[in-house]
Amino acid sequence: MLKEENCQDINEFYCCNGKKIEKKVVRETATPRSLRYKKREKIIFPYDYKNGKLIRYSTQQFNTQFPGAVNYLNDFREQLDERESDRNALWFEYGRSQALAGLNKRKLLISTVITEKVVVYMLKKKCIPYAGMYIVPKADNKTYKLEDAKEILESDEFMKYVQDVGIHISGTSLRITSKDIEEFKF
């Protein structure tokens, strides 16, 4: 993660901790917590999308097209090599990639921990969430917009449902799952 206070915007690069990283491989990122505290962060996103499909770079392509990002990531190479990851993940890729294919669209972000009220954030197409749960419209959905889903999730009825199905974790906080959201009837 690239914290905004540690990065400078310099033409086609971000200079982070003294290293130049190509802007083309950097995207905004968010968590429910970072949004609540209005922290702006960026992340190296070692993929691209073409015609709605996720494109993975080969090691050679990534090294050639993004030498600055490679230089930056090499500072963390030992940690990257030791993390749990999908069997086919290259060293510079995210450890888990199953959710990336449908990520390049507007989306909602919601925390798995609800305290007092449900807060839902609208994320831009290119924003990459890295915690919480994100919601994207189904391709065959012609009835509801993301704005409708946000309104439903922030409703009193959904909060009552969370109080019924959520797992108490501390004080007034409840943990919910994506399955809980899918099973909500409105």
pLDDT-based confidence at residue 84 (cuts at 50, 70, 90)? confident
Q: How far apart are CA 181 and CA 161, in angstroms?
A: 9
Three-state SS for 85? Answer: coil
pLDDT at 44: 97
Q: Where are the alpha helices (DSSP H) in 4-139?
A: 32-36, 59-65, 67-74, 77-82
The per-residue pLDDT of the chain, averaged, comes to 93
pLDDT at 186: 83
Average pLDDT over residues 102-126: 95
Q: How far apart are CA 95 and CA 150, in angstroms?
A: 29
Each residue's pLDDT tens digit, 127-186: 999 999 999 988 888 899 999 999 999 999 999 999 999 999 988 999 999 999 999 998
Q: Does the pLDDT of residue 95 top 90, yes or no?
A: no
Q: Does the pLDDT of residue 65 top 90, yes or no?
A: yes
Q: In what order do the strands lie in the sheet with 113-115?
A: 113-115, 173-175, 167-170
Each residue's pLDDT tens digit, 52-61: 899 999 999 9
pLDDT at 83: 87
Domains of the chain by residue range = 2-82, 105-182
Q: Does the pLDDT of residue 98 top 80, yes or no?
A: no
